[in-house]
């Protein structure tokens, strides 16, 4: 039976590409107002779901 070696507690992990991109985006997005964040979120959802139609609020049941 073999035992796996645990990474040393003193070794700092190398940041991945995703971590580096997230840090850069976070520093940019911290400067945005709530209206700007809402606009970008809407654009992102339209990009993800492929909708270019105007947003219509759903009725509550």
pLDDT (0 to 100) of residue 33: 94
For each of the chain's 61 residues, which pLDDT tens digit applies?
667 777 666 767 888 999 999 999 998 899 999 999 999 998 888 888 887 666 677 787 7
Q: Residue 41 and residue 34: Cα distance in Å, rounded?
A: 10
- What is the separation of C-alpha 53 from the centre of its chain, rounded to a whole number of angstroms? 24
Q: What is the pLDDT at residue 16?
A: 92
Alpha-carbon distance of 32 to 7, in angstroms, equals: 39
pTM: 0.50
């Amino acid at each position: 039976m073999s035992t796996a070696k645990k990474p040393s507690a003193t070794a700092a992990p190398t940041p991945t590409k995703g971590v580096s991109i997230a840090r850069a985006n976070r520093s940019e997005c911290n400067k945005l107002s709530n209206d700007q964040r809402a606009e970008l979120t809407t654009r992102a959802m339209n990009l993800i779901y492929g909708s270019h139609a105007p947003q219509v609020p759903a009725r509550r049941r």
